[in-house]
């Protein structure tokens, strides 16, 4: 991807990730400029005619009935940015702020916000110069939008606040000067348009749902490795079982797992002594499929929000005559995103939950179909993977706490003018943390499964396990073993797990040679 065009209508999650993480350049679409100029004319006409319009000629929130003179309007917009920059806590990661900037620019580019094209151009200039505002991660109620986080972002546009300039934290004015950019003087409506929207929660949510899809794929690869290490019974994956359930996610997850396990010599069939596996293996399609369905739903909600106009009031120019309609509404309310990201957190927590149960079966000699206790040679002297399961269990338990929905809470604000809020940014931050924790649990299962497979090769007197694995999982096994070798005696293991986490984060574990059953956008290259 050479560049991303900001037009207000076509931004995808994949493109957002490219700009946020890989610093792909951005450019404003000329047609978007035309739409913004048209809506800007409506705002300027309202100011000239002294019309009483919220946020344009009035104060904000509970002060909506205070009329502001034309000569005070520039100060009104500046005061709005300064007074609302009340964020708390550690800064958001730069990739999140970059995503916020892209989303805010894209929302304004739709042409219903009444800002000059210059405002969007300046945001894009900061992105292309790698100037990233310092934005505290806490302090948003998720309605009226993400006021505090977006205010911190906007501070840098007016030469205030702080920013990372190519990774170094400096004053916002210094960052602009280094990039030879002048601070903006905001006109009527422009300060409000910059901070009134859902772009913080959506930025976090978009990166989280992207990572959740990668998590599902990594967890499915891990489950296929564990399935073979535990000599899983493949009858449970038969397509007929899943078709009669009629749950699309489950059908797709079962098909993904069948593809990954195709031609394996290590899977088994039911016998008189072992008719079926425990749920952690047998019900993997049901659990992973439900999680995949949740990810699909959240993806669709977030993808819609990427191209949404979420500030207030909104400007609708007349097509055939001067002027237009300026309408006050509530598109800044984050409820759609809040509910979806709470759902995403629950789904990611479940992927980790069942992954930890497979890990337990791998390390527990009572459950592992003959593998050495804790996957170690000379147990007793060596503890092997004993505490790995402890660590995974800790992360799973933490996820259970984090998975409590944020969206069921609301605290009135602005003297009860804003009496129901979404807490969507809290939901987003929790979902992101759950996905990160889950990725680590899946990394632990992945490495434990590779260890178990090597021990299985020793048991079966095989020179190597690779030729007994399915082709797809053999490729995954080789990828893991390229960064972490077999653990023949106790050693400090956290660097090993960090290395596998990085493989999962970078989407480097091999994928099915055929496309995954659900692939909404070209999010990662698929190996052929």
Whether 411 is in a domain gets the answer: yes
- Structure-token match 């190597």, residue found: 464
433 shares a domain with 362: yes
Weakest mean pLDDT among 284-293, 470-479, 514-523? 514-523
Q: Is residue 112 part of a domain?
A: yes
Task: Please state, in angstroms and rounded to a whole number, the distance separating the CA atoms of residues 142 and 139.
Answer: 9
pLDDT band for position 55 (cuts 50, 70, 90):
confident
In a domain, residue 408? The reply is yes
Show the tokens assigned to 303.
């993808």
Mean confidence (pLDDT) of the chain: 94
Nearest one of 198, 268, 265 to 233, comparing CA atoms = 268
DSSP for 329-366, please give it.
--TT--HHHHHHHHHHHHHHHHHHHHHHHHHHHHH-TT
Q: What is the mean pLDDT of residues 354-381?
A: 97
Query: What CATH code is carried by the domain that includes residue 16?
Result: 1.10.275.10
User: How many structural domains are present in the chain?
Assistant: 2
Tens digit of each residue's pLDDT (9 = 90 or more) over 467-484 = 999 999 999 999 999 999
Instruction: Please tell me whether residues 17 and 94 are part of one structural domain.
Output: yes
Please give the pLDDT value at position 513: 55
Please give the helix or strand (H or E) that residue 251 lies within, else none. Answer: helix 248-261
Whole-number percent of the chain with pLDDT over 70 = 97
Mean local confidence (pLDDT), 433-461: 98
233 bridge partner residues: 268
Domain-embedded: residue 514 = no
Q: Which among 197, 219, 236 is the end of a domain? A: 197
Residues 417 and 332 in one domain: yes
| 3-class DSSP assignment, residue 145 | coil
Instruction: Please give the pLDDT value at position 414.
Output: 85
pLDDT band (50, 70, 90) for residue 512: low
Q: Which of 54, 164, 472, 477 is catalytic?
A: 54
Same domain, 323 and 300: yes
- Asked, for residue 523, whether it belongs to a domain, the answer is no
Instruction: Let me know if 408 is exposed, middle or buried by CB neighbors in 10 A (0-12, 13-18, 19+).
Output: exposed
CATH number at residue 443: 1.20.200.10
pLDDT on residue 51? 87
Q: Mark whether 290 and 385 lie in a shared domain.
A: yes
Tens digit of each residue's pLDDT (9 = 90 or more) over 129-149:
999 999 999 999 998 889 999
The Cα–Cα gap between 327 and 313 comes to: 5
**411 versus 445: which is more confidently predicted?**
445
Do the bridges between strand 26-28 and strand 4-6 make them parallel or antiparallel, or are there none, so unpaired? parallel
Banded model confidence at residue 199, pLDDT cuts 50, 70, 90:
very high
**186/221 same-domain check:** no
Known active-site residue 54:
yes
Collapsing DSSP to helix, strand or coil, 101 comes out as: helix
If asked whether residues 65 and 158 sit together in one domain, one would say yes
Task: Out of 141, 164, 197, pick the residue that ends a domain.
Answer: 197
**Of the residues 143, 172, 197, the one at which a domain ends:** 197
**Has residue 518 been placed in a domain?**
no
Residue 525: its pLDDT value, please?
41
112 and 54 share one domain: yes
238 CA to centre of own chain: 32
Q: Are residues 236 and 157 in the same domain?
A: no
459 and 342 within one domain = yes
- Residues 141, 80, single domain; the answer is yes
Task: Tell whether the model's pLDDT for residue 73 goes beyond 90.
Answer: no
Average pLDDT of span 365-383: 96
The stretch 90-96 carries a mean pLDDT of 98
Full DSSP string of 179-212 = TT-PPP---TTHHHHHHSSSHHHHHHHHHHHHHH
Q: What is the pLDDT of residues 383-408, one digit of tens each?
A: 999 999 999 999 999 999 999 999 99
Residue 522 has pLDDT above 70, yes or no: no
Is the domain of 57 the same as that of 101? yes
Inside any domain, residue 525: no
- 117 part of a folded domain: yes
Q: How confident is the model at residue 66 (pLDDT cuts 50, 70, 90)?
A: confident
Question: What is the reported pLDDT for 317?
Answer: 95
How far apart CA 61 and CA 48 sit, in angstroms, is 23
Question: Beta partners for 133?
Answer: 163
**Is pLDDT above 60 for 251?**
yes
Structural domain of residue 93, as residue ranges? 4-197
Please tell me the distance from the alpha carbon of residue 56 to that of residue 54, in angstroms, as a whole number.
5
Q: What is the DSSP string of 62-92?
A: GGGGSB--GGGHHHHHHHHHHHH---EEEEP
What is the pTM assigned to this prediction?
0.95
């Amino acid at each position: 991807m050479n560049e991303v065009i900001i037009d207000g209508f076509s931004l995808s999650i994949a493109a957002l990730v490219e700009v946020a993480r890989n610093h792909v350049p951005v450019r404003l679409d000329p047609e978007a400029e035309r739409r913004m100029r048209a809506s800007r004319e409506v705002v300027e006409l309202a100011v000239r005619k002294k019309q009483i319009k919220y946020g344009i000629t009035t104060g904000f929130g509970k002060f909506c009935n205070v009329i502001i003179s034309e000569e005070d309007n520039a100060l009104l917009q500046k005061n709005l940015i300064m007074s609302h920059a009340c964020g708390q806590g550690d800064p958001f990661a730069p990739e999140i702020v970059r995503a916020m900037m892209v989303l805010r620019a894209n929302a304004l580019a739709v042409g219903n916000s009444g800002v000059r094209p210059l405002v969007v151009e300046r945001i894009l200039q900061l992105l292309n110069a790698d100037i990233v505002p310092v934005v505290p991660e806490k302090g948003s109620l998720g309605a009226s939008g993400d006021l505090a986080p977006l205010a911190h972002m906007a501070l840098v546009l007016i030469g205030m606040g702080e920013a990372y300039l190519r990774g170094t934290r400096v004053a916002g004015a210094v960052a602009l000067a280094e990039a030879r950019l002048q601070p903006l003087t905001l006109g009527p409506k422009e300060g409000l348009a910059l901070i009134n929207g859902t772009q913080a929660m959506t930025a976090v949510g978009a990166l989280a749902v992207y990572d959740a899809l990668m998590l599902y794929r990594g967890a499915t690869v891990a489950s296929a490795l564990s399935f073979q290490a535990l000599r899983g019974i493949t009858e449970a994956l038969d397509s007929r079982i899943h078709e009669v359930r009629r749950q699309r996610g489950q059908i797709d997850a079962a098909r993904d797992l069948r593809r990954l396990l195709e031609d394996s010599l290590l899977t088994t069939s039911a016998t008189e002594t072992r008719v079926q596996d425990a749920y952690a293996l047998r019900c993997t399609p049901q659990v992973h499929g439900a999680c995949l369905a949740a990810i699909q739903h959240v993806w669709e909600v977030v993808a819609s929000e990427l191209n949404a106009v979420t500030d207030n009031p909104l400007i609708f120019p007349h097509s055939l005559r001067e002027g237009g309609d300026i309408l006050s509404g509530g598109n800044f309310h984050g409820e759609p995103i809040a509910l979806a990201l709470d759902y995403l957190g629950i789904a990611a927590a479940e992927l980790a939950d069942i992954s930890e149960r497979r890990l337990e079966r791998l390390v527990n000699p009572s459950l592992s179909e003959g593998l050495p206790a804790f996957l170690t040679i000379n147990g007793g002297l060596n503890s092997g993977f004993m505490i790995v399961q402890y660590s995974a269990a800790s992360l799973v338990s933490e996820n259970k706490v984090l998975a409590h929905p944020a969206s069921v809470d609301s605290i009135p604000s602005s003297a009860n003018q804003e009496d129901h809020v979404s807490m969507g940014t809290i939901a987003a931050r929790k979902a992101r943390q759950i996905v990160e924790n889950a990725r680590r649990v899946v990394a632990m299962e992945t490495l434990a499964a590779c260890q178990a497979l090597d021990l299985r090769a020793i048991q079966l007197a095989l020179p190597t396990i690779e030729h007994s694995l399915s082709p797809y999982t053999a490729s995954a096994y080789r990828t893991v073993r390229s960064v972490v070798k077999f653990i023949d005696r106790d050693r400090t293991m956290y660097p090993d797990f960090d290395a596998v986490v990085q493989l999962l984060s970078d989407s480097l574990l091999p994928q099915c040679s055929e496309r995954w059953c659900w692939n909404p956008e070209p999010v990662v290259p698929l190996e052929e």
